[in-house]
Amino acid sequence: MRYFLSGVIFSIVPVLVFYFLPELIYGASYHMISSQYPFITTAIFPIWLGYAILRYQMLVLDSYVRRAISSMVGILALAILVYLSVTAYEILPPHLNEQYNLLYVVCVTCIITALAPAVWLGSRRVADRLFFSEVLHYRRIIERPEILANQKIDLIYASNLITSAAINTFGTDQVALLVFDESGGYYHLVANNSSEMRDDPALGLLQMLCRYFKPQVESRLDNWLERQLPALQRLAAARRPQLLSELIRSKEQAPRGLSRYISSSEPTQEDSILLAPLRVQGSMIGILVLGRRGESQMYAGPDFEIVEILLARFSSVLETARLYYRAHQHAQLLNSLYQVGTMPSYVYKTLEDVIRTYAKVAYEATETHIELWLYDQQKGQLRQAIQLGHGPTVTAHLNTFDIQEADWHAQFIDANSDPTAFTVTSLERPTFPLAWLPLVKGEWHWGIVILNYARPHFFAKEEMHILEMFANQWVAALENKRMTSELVAAYERQQELDHLKDRFIMTASHELRTPLTAVMGYVELLYEYNDTLPQEAQVDFIERARQGCDELTTLVGTIIDASQLQIEIEQLKLVKLSLRNEVQRVLTMLGSIFEKEKREYQVLVDSELSVYADQKRVQQIFFNLLSNALRYSKAGSQIEVYAEAEGAMVKIGVRDYGVGIPLVEQEQLFERFVRLEREINSPVRGAGLGLAVCKQLIEAMGGSIWLESSGEEGSGSCFWFTLPTVSEDLSLGGKSLQVRRV
């Protein structure tokens, strides 16, 4: 209605001024301008009426119509100014007209020249106020000075500011601001949390755009729009805001001729959605989406102009907020990743604790699917140690994979990467964003960290630098824990050695004191009572003293053997041995003890069974085990020796039926200078080295030793050990071979 009345006024005013006003002043016979000319403006009335009816179907042409109308009002005002100035000359008396004719002309010319700019601008402003008042209303809303005063411009605030201005300007609650994210290469909504987004009408607009722009996504709707979408490419290249219907139609469907400016078809849903790009330095940093307006009004030319004014007003605000958000993201990532570096080292008990802690921090900070592959130095392969999260991966169904020396450098793969940028030949090139971070310290390779991104992602230089620094920090934590563990192990080993030294001193002093006391006692008796003792007693004392000396010699020899064992292990001479023959030789050496104690032994060893070992050390092992069986079992009890082949090894057992070994003391029995608690004050002498020597010798020759005992009285004990067997086609010639050090 306002546009209709404006057209009536614009058509009648020239008639009133140029036709009826002169008749009122001078009479019907006087007209300065021909009476036909004032009625020309009435011909514009049908055009104005058509504009009032078709305004929302004229699209961009509406802006040109408004400018033309404002210009016509200005021209009309100037014409009225000139007309009134000339008419004033006719009002003066005739004698003054003739006398001051020249002066009058000069004055009129000066007045018209001085007032013309003011009349031109004033008339256009009046036309905008009377005929297009909504434009001024929009401008006042957009240019309110208080909306930016004393405010922290973050991304959420800037988004709310722009959407609020759009809502107040256009009277629609369906407004969405999509902000460009450089790290992901897509446009997305900004919200404090996901619950707010679910209730936001803007999410409905975004999902509707997803359905139009990405119809191939059927199972779910993404909450972002990729920059590479054709519709967004057309929007970025457009010079004005675009209706959704303009963006989704193909080139063949594009309107031609006058239909580009005037819509002749019935409006659809796509015609009620307007998309406007926010640009800074030629780049589209955001998209303002305006939904259906109230009263089913369509977007037309004035709205396009107001949208551009609004975006020009707030584009710098949005860019400032984006820069702040990006800096905040990098700072947050940096703080999250490096906060773990402030944790004290004692928090990590093992290397696995370091791996799990750093992997969890990286997963939470980057929100990716993270994998850690540790490097096997011997095999030259990577094996998976840990993975967190879900998402795509290039290592699916792999437990290990090979890696080349050229692959030990950081690699970042995204949509902008060269197809040949991923150099790991044992894996397929990823089709998703990926960060490949090696954990390397000098020539030591710990492994590889892989960050797999499920969403679109682009790596900024700052982000790549932060991730590389985090990988270096991870390596430093692993190195520190490794060195700390080695120092702790060395310290504990030193403590163990000190404990063994104390135990050795206690054991040796106790074991050596008993035979030494006996020797000294018999020697003193002989010294004091030599003349009065019968010869048989003297011989008995001397024999007992000699036995004590022999026992001392044996104990000292055992200790010396233990100290020199490591040196002799390196000189083992491995040959093919008949196991039954070696057992028989040792039993022959112990034959006098078996006869004295009236014992029997049973040897269940096949004569064809052979082992690959050092002959001297095999005899020493059997001698120690059989001696222990004799010392810790009752006289008259039986000793048994077993042997049977088990694959590439021969399993050998020495069994007695003595007092047995308590379960709580079995684990420490093979350590040096360890004796059972009950044997410390027993008459059976020993330095606690025999079983430790056996263990070292057996392991040096590739076997292992263990015992079986229930700990009950009379159940006895069985010491089992293994040695490698010999294939019949193996050529042996007493050759010394390199063996494993203990």
- Judged against a pLDDT cut of 60, whether residue 141 lies above it is answered with no
Give the three-state DSSP class for 196.
Answer: helix
**Residue 735 has what pLDDT?**
38
Least confident of 39-48, 369-378, 438-447: 39-48
Q: How far apart are CA 96 and CA 104, in angstroms?
A: 10
Q: How far apart are CA 696 and CA 564, in angstroms?
A: 12
CATH 3.40.50.720 fits 141-333, yes or no: no
- Judged against a pLDDT cut of 80, whether residue 688 lies above it is answered with no
Give the three-state DSSP class for 460.
Answer: coil
Annotation: CATH topology of 570-724 = Heat Shock Protein 90 (3.30.565)
Structure tokens given for 277: 């790009």
- Judged against a pLDDT cut of 90, whether residue 451 lies above it is answered with yes
- Identify the bridge partners of residue 179 per DSSP, sorted by sequence position: 188, 286
Task: From 151, 512, 452, 480, select the one nearest 340 (Cα to Cα).
Answer: 480
467 — pLDDT class (breaks 50, 70, 90): very high
Q: How far apart are CA 314 and CA 329, in angstroms?
A: 22
Task: From 441, 495, 433, select the one nearest 464 (Cα to Cα).
Answer: 433
Strand order in the sheet with 274-280: 224-226, 186-188, 175-181, 283-290, 274-280, 242-243
Q: Is 191 left (phi over 0), alpha (psi -120 to 50) or beta?
A: beta
Query: 24 versus 582: which is more confidently predicted?
Result: 582
- Judged against a pLDDT cut of 90, whether residue 370 lies above it is answered with yes
| Domain spans of the chain, in order of start | 2-131, 141-333, 570-724
Beta carbons within 8 Å of 700's beta carbon, 6+ residues apart: 569, 572, 739, 740, 741, 742
Mean of all residue pLDDT scores within the chain? 77
**Residue 140 has what pLDDT?**
57
The tens digit of pLDDT for each residue in 257-316 reads: 555 555 555 557 777 889 999 999 889 999 999 988 766 677 776 778 888 888 888 888
Q: Is 421 in contact with 398 (CB distance < 8 Å)?
A: no
Q: How far apart are CA 189 and CA 289, in angstroms?
A: 11
Give the three-state DSSP class for 570.
Answer: coil
Percent of the chain with pLDDT over 70: 69
Q: Is 4 in contact with 45 (CB distance < 8 Å)?
A: no
